[in-house]
Amino acid sequence: MSSLFEKHRSTLETALEVIRHRGFWSAYPEMPSARFYGEQAKEEGQQAFDALLNRDFILSGHPEQGRAGNEQSPYGVALDIRYPVASVETLVKQSQDAGKVWANTSLNVRMGICLEILERLNNMSFEIANAVMHTSGQAFPMAFQAGGPNAQDRALEALAYAWAEMSQIPSQTDWVKPQGKAGDLVLEKHWRIIPRGVSLLIGCQTFPTWNSYSAFFANLVTGNTVIAKPHPSAILPMALTVRVAREVLSEQGLPADVVLLAAEEDGMGMAKQLALHPDVALIDYTGSSAFGQWLRTQAATPLVYTEEAGVNSIVLGSTDNFDAMCQNIAFSLTLYSGQMCTTPQNLFVPRDGILVNGERKTFDEVTAGIASAVDALLVDPARAVMVTGAIANQATLERVATMRGAGRLIRDSAALPGMEQVRTATPLIQALDASDENVYGTECFGPVSFVIAVDDVEDGIRRAAQLARTKGAITAAIYEKDEARLAKAIDAFAQAGVNLSVNLAGGIFVNQSAAFSDFHGTGANPAGNCCFADSAFVANRFRVAMWRRPKSS
Amino acid sequence: MSSLFEKHRSTLETALEVIRHRGFWSAYPEMPSARFYGEQAKEEGQQAFDALLNRDFILSGHPEQGRAGNEQSPYGVALDIRYPVASVETLVKQSQDAGKVWANTSLNVRMGICLEILERLNNMSFEIANAVMHTSGQAFPMAFQAGGPNAQDRALEALAYAWAEMSQIPSQTDWVKPQGKAGDLVLEKHWRIIPRGVSLLIGCQTFPTWNSYSAFFANLVTGNTVIAKPHPSAILPMALTVRVAREVLSEQGLPADVVLLAAEEDGMGMAKQLALHPDVALIDYTGSSAFGQWLRTQAATPLVYTEEAGVNSIVLGSTDNFDAMCQNIAFSLTLYSGQMCTTPQNLFVPRDGILVNGERKTFDEVTAGIASAVDALLVDPARAVMVTGAIANQATLERVATMRGAGRLIRDSAALPGMEQVRTATPLIQALDASDENVYGTECFGPVSFVIAVDDVEDGIRRAAQLARTKGAITAAIYEKDEARLAKAIDAFAQAGVNLSVNLAGGIFVNQSAAFSDFHGTGANPAGNCCFADSAFVANRFRVAMWRRPKSS
């Protein structure tokens, strides 16, 4: 059964190497190009997606006590897909039953299966991209990249970490203790990996695969079973993932129920019910801080890994390329309409402006520069929507409306013209003063950002770092050419437990986090208690049991 | 400053090797012999200990808002040592201040300091042994071994795991992403270890150093500061440890307050107050399940590592050496009067007896064999006390009295004759039926054990494993010659998350757990949520922060 392992061994080995030096690598090409995926891939992916609409989603052998599903594409397509639903008791029971077999498979078998699942997911990246696009509202290019290969890379990264931790446990040894004249005391000792049991994976709407795959695969390879509970508005991408996983498991003669889908419609409350079940041993969650807090304190298991809300900042001090800075920031604000956990919300700008090649640009010149750069991105609506995507959730549109007027208007938000069926909103940018922390000190998820007047760069750094420490942050950025000032910023943001991007320009953005190189999140501030992925993310998902006896017995 | 690292580098390197193959190794000789420790060591250790009695304990530069201390040796010596005490606010504040410097030291510097502390602790193992003996009640040989070198080995083991995790994080890399015709995208990326902050270490009376050192050193080397809060009845061993650590820190020009002592007398409630402080970021705890539960659910930080109560079992099925089995079990029951977290409490014996070389010994013959072996160990009181040690806590004596009569008496507990000043109690052994789980299903800490009549070996395995799963267990053992039955037992105990010893005889006992080889505890049942030590024990004690920028910027 370990032939799948041999088939994929070199992929694992490269991943193991790369997570140590953290240079660039990607196992799954992120370009939606025929060169990598074949001439027919795009067309076939579209057809495969279309064939899913307006019918029951087939999950062969999956427990089914009814059907549910009410996904609406933010692009105006009604998906009308109905997924099998089962009670919490049924899901947990069948997960546990499958776990008895899964727990006894070897690490190599589990790794081979996980890597095979990943390969098949990669091959259907176009289909997944359509599924991600029409649930999250991401534009197709991002849905492909983030929802497909980038998510698969994150999965592989988690598999590599899990492998590194598990493979360091020897399966046996002879323990030979010298006893002087009494001769040696010899014990044979045997170790085995014991999984935690049933894991629960609670997904989010905006990144249904990217934010779920690290845990999904880490749990599988460590021998746990997985109940995937996607967001009610973004079930399809994980349903497809579950289907592939179940197919590979079945082909290998293993119970498909190692992976189950907990589909639900809004208001069914499956996440809470599952989290309170005493046999759910592990929970991974991406979403609001309120429910994160509930899970961390009320779930039956203490093993809860979260990514929650945060308030990301950019501090502007100085630059030698004003236009490139403005364009870079503008893209970060506009990309997927600010619906990324990595989107900056607060731009801290000194009251008396910033230094550009030694000359001062006023506060208003800075805000105007950024607003113009956003406008430039959005000139052509057909191109613009490829950057903004659609608004995933009606509540985000309402938040934009509510926040309008919270500060001095710099750039208003509007729907993209000429595409009424798509739910869009361009960036709302408003100016605030440092004293308005009651406004900018909370996450306003979506295309809402603030340019905040501060005393000076140091004041901006202090406020941004303090927000990261107290409210959480996944990203931070600074534009600053002075190395001494930069060094202080680096210290401040590190102490606040947030990763910092410096002087970004060109084709790299603060929103982006690369598998194998950038740890996503730190687990060191309220935006989450873990990161994707490191040793701590995987090492407690399994335990080790030993038996030992005198060698001669 | 890294010369300490160079001085001790080879010790670390060996430890790193051994934790991978888990064969026998010890960095610190466990024999209290002049050969290892010098001709004068024993005498000097005794003198050093004597010089501590009846006076203020000197902790140079330590915050001091008063004095406290009321330790009573279970051997009848009144220690009358008064330790500096300070308020929770003062301790946390000074720990945080010291942490600002400590967090910025390099990993090599911290590791060098930790290894130097360990070497000095090793050199004063006789002094520490006296301190452990006269607080825990352990007999001198055990106090030396477990309180000195074995604890130091556990510390080194934790250091090795922490090193393995931290040293895999590169300090920087160039991330070079090919962009086709657009050329390469190059980011320089820099990573640093960021500690959690102030750690709190809540010790127990019975193993004041052994149960504390793994966390003490893991926290230090990962850059956290340590507030050691020993059990009010066993302050001295950790006070000495804190003193050594502070001395080494000061010599290296670092703030001694990186390590602080939270001494207290019974009823001062320091542990709770410290645990509720919002700036205490990490807690390690050994002790009762009741307080463990409180910490896990009520402490300000969710990062709580515990070793709590459990109910350890031995299942008796068959043996080819009845006497050796009885002697081995008898020693395990008698050693330190059952006051080890690894002491077996429940012996499950088939109602119709066990097989010895194919012949049946009745249930009563088995109980008689074990009782006689205990008696034989205790014939000479002067030798006996070297096995039993003293009873650490008056409450344990009371528990023995309360439990007397809970079952059919097999062997009564009594004080050792002729040593009235020492608080002793020999093993109380009583017979129960499998149906008496209300009695044997709870931890009776101390020299209290039960021989429980079960239907057959399988019944015993099932009950012992079920107790481990539901009530926790640190150890389990079985005597069984049938390999098929043994295989089932191995599965059952692994699934219950408990390490299993098989057919132990001669000089190795179920109570014993060897650093670098035996993971102590599994973290997979209610007896604790972690083990000493593995990756999971260390990997979340620090986090990683990155900064990155375009290479040419």
Beta-bridge partners for B350: B454
**B296, B498, B547 ranked by CB distance to A500: nearest:** B547
Residues of chain A contacting residue B223, judged by C-beta atoms under 8 Å apart: none
Chain-centre distance for alpha carbon B265: 22
Residues B424-450 have a mean pLDDT of 97
Residues of chain B contacting residue A196, judged by C-beta atoms under 8 Å apart: 524
State the DSSP string of A402-446: HHTTSSEEEE---PPTT-TTS---PPEEEEEETT-HHHHTS---S
**Residues A23, B174: C-beta atoms closer than 8 Å:** yes
pLDDT band with cut points at 50, 70 and 90 for residue B1: very low
CA distances B345 to A416, A490, B527, Å, are 73, 55, 14
Q: CB of A399 within 8 A of CB of A50?
A: no
Phi, psi (rounded to 5 degrees) for B423 = -85, 100
Q: Which residue has the tokens 């299942």?
A: B315
b/e burial code for range B11-32 (CB count within 10 A of at least 16 → b): bbeebeebbeebbbbbbbebeb
* CA dihedral over B535, A165, B307, B328, signed as positive or negative: negative
What is the Cα–Cα distance from B444 to B337, expressed in whole angstroms? 12
Residues of chain A contacting residue B514, judged by C-beta atoms under 8 Å apart: 175, 177
Residues of chain A contacting residue B192, judged by C-beta atoms under 8 Å apart: 494
Residues B36-61 have a mean pLDDT of 97
A465-503 pLDDT tens trace: 999 999 999 999 999 999 999 999 999 999 999 999 999
A381: left (phi over 0), alpha (psi -120 to 50) or beta: alpha
What's the start-to-end Cα distance of chain B, in Å? 33
Residue A533: cis peptide before it, omega within 30 degrees of 0: yes
Q: Which two tokens stand for residue A346?
A: 């607060």
**Residues A498, B545: C-beta atoms closer than 8 Å:** yes
CATH 3.40.605.10 segments of chain A? 3-308+531-548
**Residues B507, A545: C-beta atoms closer than 8 Å:** no
**A497, A507, A550 ranked by CB distance to B543: nearest:** A497
Q: Which residue has the tokens 């690369």?
A: A514
Residues of chain A contacting residue B513, judged by C-beta atoms under 8 Å apart: none
**From A76-80, B353-357, B498-502, the region with the lowest mean pLDDT:** A76-80
**Residues B177, A24: C-beta atoms closer than 8 Å:** yes
Residues A168-176 have a mean pLDDT of 97
Residue closest to A274 by CA, chosen among A533, A95, A407: A95
Residues of chain A contacting residue B302, judged by C-beta atoms under 8 Å apart: 296, 302, 529
The CA distance from A520 to the nearest CA of chain B, in Å, is 10
Chain A: residue whose CA lies nearest to B500:
A547
Within 10 Å of residue B444's Cβ, how many Cβ atoms? 21
Q: Which two tokens stand for residue B264?
A: 């207290």
Between A552 and A307, whose confidence is greater?
A: A307
B3-33 pLDDT tens trace: 999 999 999 999 999 999 999 999 999 999 9
Within 10 Å of residue B143's Cβ, how many Cβ atoms? 29
Q: CB of B205 within 8 A of CB of B393?
A: yes
Residues 6+ apart with CB under 8 A from B420: none
CATH 3.40.605.10 fits B3-309, yes or no: yes
**Residues B501, A547: C-beta atoms closer than 8 Å:** yes
**B179, B494, B534 ranked by CB distance to A507: nearest:** B179
Residues of chain A contacting residue B197, judged by C-beta atoms under 8 Å apart: none
The pLDDT value given to residue A1: 46
Residues A175-200 have a mean pLDDT of 95
**Residues B547, A495: C-beta atoms closer than 8 Å:** no
Fold of the B313-502 domain: Aldehyde Dehydrogenase; Chain A, domain 2 (3.40.309)
* CA dihedral over B232, B236, B240, B243, signed as positive or negative: positive
Residue closest to B245 by CA, chosen among B276, B270, B272, B213: B213
What is the Cα–Cα distance from B59 to B508, expressed in whole angstroms? 39
Residues of chain A contacting residue B550, judged by C-beta atoms under 8 Å apart: 503-506, 508
The CA distance from A334 to the nearest CA of chain B, in Å, is 21
The CA distance from A260 to the nearest CA of chain B, in Å, is 22
B399-419 pLDDT tens trace: 999 999 999 999 999 999 999
Residue closest to B433 by CA, chosen among B404, B463, B458, B401: B463
Phi, psi (rounded to 5 degrees) for A267 = 90, -5
B357-382 pLDDT tens trace: 999 999 999 999 999 999 999 999 99
Residues A409-437 have a mean pLDDT of 97
Return contacts of A404-410, CB within 8 angstroms, 24+ apart.
Answer: A404/A428, A404/A430, A406/A430, A406/A432, A406/A436, A406/A439, A406/A450, A407/A431, A407/A432, A407/A436, A407/A439, A407/A450, A408/A432, A410/A367, A410/A368, A410/A370, A410/A371, A410/A451
Phi, psi (rounded to 5 degrees) for A209 = -100, -45
Q: CB of A182 within 8 A of CB of A189?
A: no
**A22, A168, A505 ranked by CB distance to B170: nearest:** A22
CATH 3.40.605.10 fits A3-308+531-548, yes or no: yes
Sort strands A259-261 and A225-229 into parallel, antiparallel or unpaired. parallel
Residues of chain A contacting residue B165, judged by C-beta atoms under 8 Å apart: 535
The pLDDT value given to residue B379: 96
Residues of chain B contacting residue A506, judged by C-beta atoms under 8 Å apart: 185, 550
Residues of chain A contacting residue B507, judged by C-beta atoms under 8 Å apart: 179, 182, 185
**Residues B523, A546: C-beta atoms closer than 8 Å:** no
Q: CB of B426 within 8 A of CB of B337?
A: yes
Residues B77-81 have a mean pLDDT of 93
Q: Can you state the angle between helices B125-136 and B41-50, rounded to 10 degrees?
A: 50
Within 10 Å of residue A357's Cβ, how many Cβ atoms? 11
The pLDDT value given to residue B94: 98
**Residues B170, A503: C-beta atoms closer than 8 Å:** no
pLDDT band with cut points at 50, 70 and 90 for residue B180: confident
What is the Cα–Cα distance from A332 to A391, expressed in whole angstroms? 16
Mean pLDDT taken over chain B: 97
What is the Cα–Cα distance from A33 to B192, expressed in whole angstroms? 37
The CA distance from A540 to the nearest CA of chain B, in Å, is 5
What is the Cα–Cα distance from A23 to A510, expressed in whole angstroms? 18
Q: Is B542 exposed, middle or buried (0-12, 13-18, 19+ CB in 10 A)?
A: buried
In this predicted structure, the answer to whether residue A334 has a pLDDT above a threshold of 50 is yes
What is the Cα–Cα distance from A535 to B222, expressed in whole angstroms? 14
What is the Cα–Cα distance from B362 to A165, expressed in whole angstroms? 47
Residues 6+ apart with CB under 8 A from B200: B227, B229, B262, B271, B274, B275, B280, B282, B283, B284
Q: Which residue has the tokens 């006051």?
A: B339
Give chain B's largest Cα–Cα span: 91
**Residues A499, B550: C-beta atoms closer than 8 Å:** no
Q: Which two tokens stand for residue B244?
A: 């050594």
pLDDT band with cut points at 50, 70 and 90 for residue B521: very high
Mean pLDDT taken over chain A: 97
Residues of chain B contacting residue A495, judged by C-beta atoms under 8 Å apart: 103, 194
In this predicted structure, the answer to whether residue A271 has a pLDDT above a threshold of 90 is yes
Residues B430-446 have a mean pLDDT of 97
pLDDT band with cut points at 50, 70 and 90 for residue A553: very low
**B22, B177, B522 ranked by CB distance to A170: nearest:** B22
pLDDT band with cut points at 50, 70 and 90 for residue B150: very high
The CA distance from A262 to the nearest CA of chain B, in Å, is 26
In this predicted structure, the answer to whether residue B553 has a pLDDT above a threshold of 50 is no
Q: Is A212 exposed, middle or buried (0-12, 13-18, 19+ CB in 10 A)?
A: buried
Residues A256-268 have a mean pLDDT of 96
Residue closest to A465 by CA, chosen among A489, A446, A483, A436: A489
**B502, B529, B535 ranked by CB distance to A165: nearest:** B535
Residues 6+ apart with CB under 8 A from B216: B155, B201, B226, B228, B241
B251-265 pLDDT tens trace: 999 999 999 999 999
State the DSSP string of A330-394: HHHHHGGGG-STT---EEEEETT-EEETTEEEPHHHHHHHHHHHHHHHTSSHHHHHHHH---S-H
CATH 3.40.309.10 segments of chain A? 313-502
A108-164 pLDDT tens trace: 999 999 999 999 999 999 999 999 999 999 999 999 999 999 999 999 999 999 999
> How crowded is the C-beta side of A125, counted as CA atoms within 13 Å?
30
What is the Cα–Cα distance from A263 to A260, expressed in whole angstroms? 9
- Optimal mutation site among B540, B542, B551, interface A, most CBs of chain A within 10 A: B540
The CA distance from A418 to the nearest CA of chain B, in Å, is 33
Q: What is the ipTM of this complex?
A: 0.96
CATH 3.40.605.10 segments of chain B? 3-309
Return contacts of A452-455, CB within 8 angstroms, 24+ apart.
Answer: A452/A346, A452/A347, A452/A348, A452/A349, A453/A349, A453/A350, A453/A351, A453/A363, A454/A348, A454/A349, A454/A350, A454/A351, A455/A350, A455/A351
The CA distance from B54 to the nearest CA of chain A, in Å, is 40
Within 10 Å of residue B119's Cβ, how many Cβ atoms? 18
Chain B: residue whose CA lies nearest to A171:
B21
Residues B102-121 have a mean pLDDT of 98
**Residues B539, A534: C-beta atoms closer than 8 Å:** yes
pLDDT band with cut points at 50, 70 and 90 for residue B552: confident
The pLDDT value given to residue A2: 54
**A504, A544, A550 ranked by CB distance to B503: nearest:** A550
- The angle formed by the CA atoms of residues A193, B529 and B223, to the nearest 5 degrees, is 100
Q: Find the radius of gyration of the CA atoms of chain B.
A: 25
What is the Cα–Cα distance from A342 to A348, expressed in whole angstroms? 17
Q: CB of A461 within 8 A of CB of A313?
A: no
Residues A43-60 have a mean pLDDT of 98
Percent of chain A whose predicted confidence (pLDDT) is above 90 = 97
Give chain A's largest Cα–Cα span: 91
* CB pairs A-B closer than 8 Å: 189
